[in-house]
Structure 1
Amino acid sequence: MFEIETLLTLAAVAAGSGVVGGILAGLLGVGGGIVIVPALYLALSLTGMDSALTMQVAVGTSLATIVFTSLSSGYGHYRKGAIDMGLLKLWAPSILIGVLIGGVLGGLVSGKVLIAVFAVVAAIVALDMILRTGADSAIPRSFAKPVWAALGVVAGAISAMMGIGGGTVCVPLLNFLGYDIRKAVGTSAAIGFVIGVPGALIYMATGFGAEGLPPFSFGYVNLFLAAVIIPLSTSFARVGVKLAHSIPRRALRLAFGVFLMLTSARMFSDLAGL
């Protein structure tokens, strides 16, 4: 099933997603998974691989790449003072709990469920980012700590199930609360590391011993694809960071929303065809 030509095709798709995902990771704080997951999903679908495993491998592999991409992106934003360390410390523990829940669910439920979660969440976030108007407030709003904890669990669970770094959920939420869009992007980039490490480990464990996986797979994480993506995504994340700090805030919000809407439409189309 996986001949040399097939592996080369997968490598080419992975390389392209690594470049685009890296730029968007730095630009939008999304970890790159919002590009990598659908790209790997579509590429693996062409190999004749069991559709029940395709989404799990795409999500698990994406989470593994996010560990490194978020480090590169997060460091770039940190150097520009765009990470709220207090918020990161407040939110990280509850996000970690959410990742553990979402990672286990993502490794056990069907691929159709994962695709549906991905498409619906991306569409809701895209509409919010595109349609919301008004400037960022001077003083960010906030919640009580229990509410922050609950939001963190939800954000972590959704991110782990979607195979993304958290920016898809965290950036619009922080921006809605009045955080500067660049600081929202920078903090979300750092959150990607909190999501990627446990998420990838869980997908490795839940997929261990599964039959029909691509060559060089460790559970639901494909090491071959990850090795192609990581050097490119980490390098191009720095390009994204520079762009994030050089374009207008409104343009950054619109870029985020339009991209998510296109991604959601693509996934709904795939879901309808299953």
Structure 2
Amino acid sequence: MNSGTEHLLGGLGTGLCGGLLSGLFGIGGGIVMVPLLGLTLRLDQHRAQGATLAAMLLPTGLPAVLQYRRRGIAADLPLVGVLILAFLFGITGGSLVANVIPSEGLRWGYAAFLVFLALRTFLREEPPVVNREAEPMNLGGRWTWGLPIGLLAGLVSGLTGLGGAVVVIPLLASKFRMTQHEAQLTSLMMLLPPIGLPGVYVYAKAQGGLPWGTIGAVAAGFAVGGFLGARMATRVRGAKLKQVYAGFVLLMALLVVLRRH
């Protein structure tokens, strides 16, 4: 198999896996795409993170968003706007910091963050089922909580290439009394505009360019996977989603550690 075909198939497969995870759990897909780009296509940590951010510039999560909406799940658009505004500042700073950290140190830090994320997810108590007609979302703190949540999400995204949803979803659930599915939809909607562009620019400049052909294949696979994942997510209870998600994150941390470069 020649290099071009390998990168095409590897990119499509990576994007498909990332999209499935994104639609299923509401995350940006970086948790699986960063390790797979390193393992299958031998990209170093910096280039894998930059390529993942670039693949998510297109509105590849739109099929997943539409699937959530068809199921009657709603999101607050003003809150999405606040999150986007803060995210743009955070991802610039996070990307600048990531590109001065040696690749090996960045890889181990990434794996440690995934372990922390998995443990926190597994130990978090599942919120009770909410009747939206009787108990609306607590949206009085759009700016008070939306700005720091978006800023922190941007910092994490720039540092790890994860897209920031790993921060957004649990904080939205706790601060705005959102259900798991509502928080996932909000996160996906936040990622529809190309909010990762400042981070991609920083990575591309620092790494002397990014593998744009592979990135295109990843984006195509991601769109298909996101739609399929969203169809699955709307049929699974939140508690089960949490358990599967935590286990998958631990698996990705193991794959990052086992990578030899």
- Shorter-chain TM-score category? 0.7 to 0.9
1:200 to 2:195 alignment = no
1:34 to 2:24 alignment = no
Which residue number in structure 2 is paired with residue 13 of structure 1? Answer: 10
Deviation string for 1:145-175 (max 9, x for gaps)? 4454233222211112211222222122223
1:1-274 equivalences in 2 (<5 Å): 5-45=2-42, 54-68=44-58, 69-80=60-71, 81-136=73-128, 138=130, 145-177=143-175, 178-193=177-192, 195-207=195-207, 210=208, 219=209, 221-270=210-259
Deviation string for 1:23-78 (max 9, x for gaps)? 11111111222111111112343xxx7xxxx1121111111111222344334434
- Give the Cα–Cα distance (whole angstroms) in 2 for the partners of residues 71 and 116 of structure 1: 32
Q: Which amino acid letter does the alignment assign opposite residue 28 of structure 2?
A: G
How far did residue 122 of structure 1 move? Answer: 1.8
Q: Which amino acid letter does the alignment assign opposite residue 10 of structure 2?
A: V
- Give the Cα–Cα distance (whole angstroms) in 2 for the partners of residues 137 and 251 of structure 1: 14
- Unaligned 5+ runs, structure 2: none
How far did residue 141 of structure 1 move? Answer: 6.1
- Give the Cα–Cα distance (whole angstroms) in 2 for the partners of residues 75 and 42 of structure 1: 32
- Give the Cα–Cα distance (whole angstroms) in 2 for the partners of residues 71 and 89 of structure 1: 16
Compared CA separation, residues 134 and 42, structure 1 to 2 (3 A): closer
- Give the Cα–Cα distance (whole angstroms) in 2 for the partners of residues 120 and 87 of structure 1: 30
- Give the Cα–Cα distance (whole angstroms) in 2 for the partners of residues 201 and 76 of structure 1: 31
Moved more, 160-169 or 244-253: 160-169
Bigger relative contact order (CA 8 A; separation at least 6): 2
Compared CA separation, residues 115 and 198, structure 1 to 2 (3 A): same
Compared CA separation, residues 131 and 86, structure 1 to 2 (3 A): same
Percent of pairs with identical residues: 25
Compared CA separation, residues 193 and 102, structure 1 to 2 (3 A): farther
Compared CA separation, residues 204 and 269, structure 1 to 2 (3 A): same
Compared CA separation, residues 6 and 74, structure 1 to 2 (3 A): same
Secondary structure at 1:30's aligned position in 2?
coil
Secondary structure at 1:247's aligned position in 2?
coil
Q: Which amino acid letter does the alignment assign opposite residue 51 of structure 2?
A: T
**Taking structure 1 as the reference length, what is the TM-score of the superposition?**
0.81
Q: Which amino acid letter does the alignment assign opposite residue 100 of structure 1?
A: T
Compared CA separation, residues 25 and 144, structure 1 to 2 (3 A): closer
Compared CA separation, residues 79 and 229, structure 1 to 2 (3 A): same
Q: Which amino acid letter does the alignment assign opposite residue 205 of structure 1?
A: K
Q: Which amino acid letter does the alignment assign opposite residue 196 of structure 1?
A: G
- Give the Cα–Cα distance (whole angstroms) in 2 for the partners of residues 228 and 71 of structure 1: 17
Name the structure where helix makes up a greater proportion of residues: 1
Deviation string for 1:214-235 (max 9, x for gaps)? xxxxx1x211111222222112
Is contact 2:11-2:221 (8 Å) kept? Answer: no
Q: Which amino acid letter does the alignment assign opposite residue 249 of structure 1?
A: G
Indicate the RMSD between aligned Cα atoms, in angstroms.
2.5
